[in-house]
Amino acid sequence: MVRVGLTGGIATGKTTAGQMFVDLGCHLLESDDIAHELYQPAQPVHDSVVREFGLKVLAADGSIDRKILGEIVFNNAVLRNKLNSIVHPAIIRRQEEWLDALERRDAHAIGIVSAALMIEVGTYKNYQKLIVVSCTPEEQRRRLAERSALTSAQIEARIAAQMPLSEKMKFADYVIDNSGDLTRTRRQVEEVNSKLRQLSANTSDTRRS
């Protein structure tokens, strides 16, 4: 099986590219979906976050309000690191469990794990190949403003909280430029998928060095 990491900056189009890979027969796990589950009541991560950040981060249904939590941590690197130390170990365990289960079902599968901070926390090393989805800084800011009610200052804080795209691309085996139209993006995804299929036919279960 080929284990692939998929990452990029906020609003660069990781989800769009990920779905295109699924359409081509790859298997995809969104780490954001794992975090959503972990933030539900009765989950150990939920309880740890509430103990650390207080009841103010709770939504009406008792789950963690990610918008409120985001406002707290995006402007404070110390608190952001504290949150990551709570959440990331649990997410990584779920990722590994998912990949192992997929490999037991299909030894020739292409398993893609999408995560925003894969390079920052070092988990990109757990994958044989790394895909970085990029776009121009102008397009990134435009998309983030379009899909949210964030102010310009909040947008800049969220972008600054992540590694610059130019640095992320240095770690990539494949870069997908999602600045243009979807047809161009899909063509790049198809090219990467072909290379992953070739690797899948000949690979052993190794990790990046």
pLDDT tens digit string along 101-136? 999 999 999 999 999 999 999 999 999 999 999 999
Average pLDDT of the segment spanning 91-102: 97
Phi, psi of 176 (to 5 degrees): -110, 115
> pTM higher than 0.85, yes or no?
yes
pLDDT at position 178 is 97
Check whether 207 has a pLDDT greater than 70: no
37 vs 39: CA distance, rounded Å: 5
Domain with residues 2-202, CATH architecture: 3-Layer(aba) Sandwich (3.40)
The Cα-based distances of 165 to 11, 65, 71, 190 in angstroms read 11, 27, 22, 22
pLDDT at position 158 is 83
Check whether 206 has a pLDDT greater than 60: no
Check whether 25 has a pLDDT greater than 90: yes
- Percent of the chain with pLDDT strictly greater than 70: 97
pLDDT at position 208 is 55
pLDDT at position 203 is 66
50 vs 53: CA distance, rounded Å: 5
Average pLDDT of the segment spanning 66-78: 89
Kindly state the tokens that stand for 107: 């030894």
Q: Residue 200 carries which side chain, given as an amino acid letter?
A: S
